Amino acid sequence: MRILLSAFVALLFFSCKSIEITDKPIRFDQERIDLTLQYLDEHYDLKQLSPLIKPKMVVVHWTAIPTLDESFAAFEESKLPNWRPEIAGAGALNVSSQFLVDQDGTVYRLMPEDYMARHVIGLNHCAIGIENVGGTEGKPLTKAQLKSNIQLITYLKEKYPAIEYVIGHYEYTLFENHPLWLEKDAGYRTEKTDPGEDFITSIREATKKYNWQPIPSKN
């Protein structure tokens, strides 16, 4: 099985020479800008005049929502909806991601690539997020999504050479005590499993020419 997976990843790598990105913007109005600047200040002690970030990593997610429209709707509004009480105490800014990949592999850009999105605790100030529609037992991630993630990460690394890490969302807590970790709230953590170990391992294998920095070990 591992040999077959490696062969598939190698095939994807050679076919991932270009990428088509469709702009599908979420609401990024003045309210969202203000909430983003507030989040940067309160969580990272970063006082900024704009929501710009300097990308150092890419974080891959799944939405755990079965359709594109429902996934987009979860990110569209500026303020966090009332069905996310588990993170509401950490600020009113809604969750989002710079990119959203549909089950058929179509890549959507939801916001400026170098604006901060709320998608990963402790690391939003330096992380570009890729959300993948699905990830549930009934709607697993697809080979088309894997191919598009590899293409997209290749595009991002070429555009932002300072990117050094590609991680799955479930790996984010391994960066506690790392220089990139700026979270001030010691009680603000969530347990994650996305996008699955096989998915992120396949991405790293297909893009290994970039010599990604190793993920920190758990202390």
Task: Provide the pLDDT for residue 51.
Answer: 98
Q: Please compute, for residue 213, the number of CA atoms within 13 A of its CA located in the half-sphere on the CB side.
A: 15
- pLDDT for the residue 6: 47
Q: What's the average model confidence in pLDDT over 50-58?
A: 98
The pLDDT of 100-125, averaged and rounded, is 98
183-199 per-position pLDDT tens digit? 999 999 999 999 999 99
Burial string for 158-197 (b: 16+ CB within 10 Å, else e) reads eebeebbbbbbbbbbbebeeeeebbbeeeeeeeebebbbe
Mean per-residue pLDDT for 71-93?
A: 91
Is residue 5 very low, low, confident or very high in pLDDT (cuts 50, 70, 90)?
very low
Contact yes or no for 71/64 (Cβ under 8 A): no
Contact 43/184 with Cβ under 8 angstroms?
yes
| Model pTM above 0.85 | yes
CATH top class, domain 2-210: alpha beta
Domain residue ranges of the chain, discontinuous segments joined by +: 2-210
- What pLDDT score does 18 carry? 82
On whether the CB atoms of residues 64 and 135 are closer than 8 A, the answer is yes
Q: What is the pLDDT of residue 17?
A: 56
Predicted pLDDT of residue 116: 98
Mean pLDDT, range 134-153, rounded to an integer:
98
Is a pLDDT exceeding 80 seen at residue 12?
Answer: no
